[in-house]
Chain A
Amino acid sequence: MSTFPILQKKAPLPNFTATRNACKLCAPLGAALAIRGVEGALPYLHGSQGCATYMRRYIISHFREPMDIAASNFSEASTVFGGAEVFSKGIHNVNKSYKPSMIGIATTCLTETIGEDMKLILNRVETGEGSDKLPVLIPISTPSYRGTHMDGFHAAVLAIVEKLAGRDEAGARRLNLFPGMVSAADLRYLKEICADFGIEATLAPDYSETLEGPVQDEYIKIPEGGVSIKAIRAMGSAKASIEFGRTIQARATAAAFLQENFGVAAHRIGMPIGVRETDLFFEKLEKFMRKPIPTKHAKERGRLIDAYVDGHKYVFGKRAVIYGEEDLVVGLTAFLAEIGVMPVLCGSGGESGHFAESIAAVTPNLAGKIVVREGVDFMTMEEQARELKPDFLIGSSKGQHMARNLNVPLVRVGFPIHDRIGGQRILHLGYRGAQQLFDMVVNTLLARRQHDSPIGYSYM
């Protein structure tokens, strides 16, 4: 469609076969993160040991919290003869050590490639010796050669809901909320919003406490918090589901599953970042509760727009490169466009096929002006950004190399943030999140201006 920004699959710049500094992670990582958002649950990878260790290290460096992921620890023999034995051993061992209420089992490229029959080996464990002691086991298909960590995240949420959700009269007034991959602070804030509305919400997943907990006197094997299995079991009786993410519309999601199988109305909206996208979210909540936005939040919206007014000159016409998971980028782009920043390049390692149209939908006045690249890596983005001359970049800390090479500041948001503290506390969503993002963007630009100025102004 001509009104959409151009989706350039082939770059005018050299197009490499190799992925150079990837702007994505593999699917099992997303699954592990989602599993961590269920109360008492433990992530488990059916594959080589290194996968679990690498993902643990990657997630720990962001959250700075323990992140235990178990694995079958494949050997050469299990690769040749199948992993049924190591799987059974692994599940029983991890159950003995951690006593989880649920084990989420993500596959890996290895087990998918050798064609492990998960149904069969799972069934054997579920009916075999000692099975009475096992918690609920949830298999999730996450071959690392298909999709990105975001696909793994959604697949895990769907698998958990598919396996557990049923009807429970106690859940009849509830709202199912599927926020996607957001920060711990975002999750806490969503719960606060729902509470302020008087909405009983089931937020899935919810790692706000499991991945940001207090210092302990003794080591807690599985941190407290997370959405309870009981609440998930009642999801089929909820009044409605809200799911964030414009690019996930065409796929099977947890909300779609609940609508199809239990008739729970599914509402899919963009990640509520910035005023306009957040307004859509609050409208949904107002309709759900048949009551207006609580004063506290209306006031926050007011203060946010006041801040936009105060700071508009600092950001108007500034050029930004935005990268990360597709739905996060769509939300950030909506926010930047509404404050007068020009999003010159939107990039993601994801390949949903809906990235460009989603960007177009949130930037109606910028048709044709934004370069949107799906399935892109950091080196390609850097080459393109060199021509687009951005004033700043916004995205995870993995853009640090690009920012350094381009000599432009980086506003760190999303996941992962490996070179600063507090990534899990960054608020992106809602009016309050937009306020924090706005202050961050403005202050980053002011700091750069002040630093680069020979005068060193005291008032900016």
Chain B
Amino acid sequence: MGEILKERERQVIRKGEQSHIMECEKQSASGSVSQRACVFCGSRVVLYPIVDALHIVHGPIGCASYTWDIRGSLSSGPELHRLSFSTDLREIDVVMGGEKKLYAALRELIEAHSPKAAFVYATCIVGVIGDDVDAVCKRVSNDTGIPVLPVHSEGFKGTKKDGYRAACDALFNLIGMKPTDDVPEISINILGDFNLAGEIWMIRDYFKKMGVHVVNCITGDARVEEIQRAHGAALNLVQCSGSMTHLAKSLKEKFGTPFLRVSYFGLEDMAKALYDTARFFKEKDPGVMQRAQALVQEEISAIMPELMEYRNALEGKKAAIYVGGAFKAFSLVRALRTLGMSTGMVGSQTGNNEDYEQLRELCDPGTIIVDDSNPLELAAFIEEKGCDLFIGGVKERPIAYKLGIGFCDHNHERKIALAGFVGMLNFAREVYSSCMSPVWQLTPRNERKAREKREECAA
């Protein structure tokens, strides 16, 4: 494989052909055109959906511009999170320091928008010019009476995962600030769902039907006051484990709250999430399990007939998956199997060793498993495996389309709910509408294939 840089050779595994342990969780190779972003990005995406907080990016304008209204995280109330605020540091600030500007910016914005808390994202140069962001935050918090939380997300200080950690640390500072007397015994926090396309509302509804109270979602459609009461829940459910396990562990340590890893994508994983939760509460209320079973049965039987139609059309097609967190990749491999599809390549930006071993176990022999990939590799893998569909985010889309194959957006910008049982049906529709479009017949790749087939038949 000519496309793989030497220092990246051990970040690719072909199941059944290569037995080495994945070399992962390391800084991207210089010049590799990694699909990853930076520490700031990790923090920004995790905290972004907190709808009644003020989010201000402390640094030159770029970081704020590129993350303005970036995620499709919906709110049932305030929409302060959709505005982009920046200290827009200039040359003079770089020389003189940006603390005064940050202080003034925060005071004015808090006055104007009355947020319940403020997050201050430190970008690359903030540490370099020596701004004491913590001190400014403390001062503004004293002045205004709201929590003002520094997020140490300088882009170069590690990987996107370190940004998740910085975001978790900021969140952790909020938790425990409000009383929890009225939180019922059978209660959970949902960690790591960001309410893209309203997904969290669907999941909340499932738990409500089971008789499980949701204290708070971190961070989909989140409110600051709810986060401050998060320590009252009996159990934490962690989806998107890459971003939220750190917080779950911190909560376990400080408040003794246990956590379960779950996923809401695909029928199997969604049902398992509900059953695992029900099992956790079985001693307190055996009825939870009964209600969960009834719900799963009802939901699945409602979508099965249509789902099977898609399966009939899609059976035998091959997909490639490249996503941020590996946990989502597990669900996608299984969800594709539900549709009769196989996975030729699967990769993630931030998976760890455990994740990749689990992927190796889950995937079919020959599947390419890759960590922290880039456009040239991804294109080469897709071509090699003859994939019909690519599942990823915006940066992966043009790779698929240039090669003339289908694409399904499973990232921040999606507008269609893909979680939950209905989400599985939506996912099937998405995959179907991309794979079955007649436009592919006109692409060079398929024209060539059709020509080759004709020639074969003639010979």
Contacts and interface: CB of A to CB of B under 8 A. Distances in A.
A55 B41 CA distance: 12
Contacts of A18: 56, 85-88, 105, 108-109
Contacts of A68: 33, 375-376
B435 to A, nearest CB: 16
B395 A25 contact: no
B155 to A, nearest CB: 4
Contact of B403 (A98, A109, A218): A218
13 contacts: A17-B104, A49-B155, A50-B39, A54-B41, A56-B395, A66-B399, A73-B34, A89-B29, A93-B30, A94-B33, A110-B128, A148-B61, A216-B404
Interface string B281-318: 00000000000000000000000000000000000000
A44 B91 CA distance: 23
Contacts of A66: 375, 398-399, 402
B450 interface: no
Contact of A221 (B91, B376, B404): B376
A218 B156 CA distance: 34
A26 interface: yes
B268 interface: no
Given A114-B128, A219-B383, A96 B36 contact: no
B326 interface: no
Interface stretch (B63-71, B186-194, B205-213, B255-263): B63-71
What are the 4 tightest A-B residue pairs by CB atom distance, in nearest-first order?
Answer: A50-B38, A26-B62, A90-B31, A93-B31
B30 A87 contact: yes
B31 A78 contact: no
Contacts of B60: 26, 109, 143-145
B395 A53 contact: yes
B35 interface: yes
Interface string A196-233: 00000000000000000111111111000000000000
Given A96-B5, A216-B403, A69 B398 contact: no
Contact of B156 (A20, A75, A146, A213): A75
A449 to B, nearest CB: 29
A172 interface: no
A93 B32 contact: yes
B352 interface: no
A130 interface: no
A97 B376 contact: yes
Interface of A: 14, 16-22, 24-26, 28-29, 44, 47-58, 60-61, 64-76, 78-79, 86-87, 89-98, 108-110, 113-114, 143-146, 148, 213-221, 349, 379, 398, 401
B66 A25 contact: yes
Contact of A48 (B3, B109, B124, B399): B124
A49 B28 contact: yes
Contacts of A21: 68, 83-84
Interface stretch (B228-236, B330-338, B441-449): B441-449
B436 interface: no
A329 to B, nearest CB: 18
Contacts of A49: 28, 34, 36-38, 155
Nearest to A103: B31
Most buried by B among A50, A57, A61, A220: A50
Nearest to A400: B69
A75 to B, nearest CB: 5
A243 to B, nearest CB: 26
Given A18-B87, A92-B31, A216-B404, A97 B397 contact: no
Contact of B108 (A17, A98, A145, A214): A17
A73 B83 contact: no
A40 to B, nearest CB: 15
Contact of B62 (A14, A113, A144, A215): A144
Contact of B398 (A20, A24, A65, A401): A65
Interface string B358-386: 00000000000000000110011001000
B416 interface: no
A72 B404 contact: no
B59 interface: yes
Most buried by B among A49, A78, A95: A49
B30 A110 contact: no
A24 B83 contact: no
B124 A109 contact: yes
Interface string B2-13: 010100000000
Contacts of B202: none
Nearest to A88: B30
B81 to A, nearest CB: 13
B183 interface: no
B61 A54 contact: no
Given A18-B85, A21-B83, A76-B156, A109 B56 contact: no
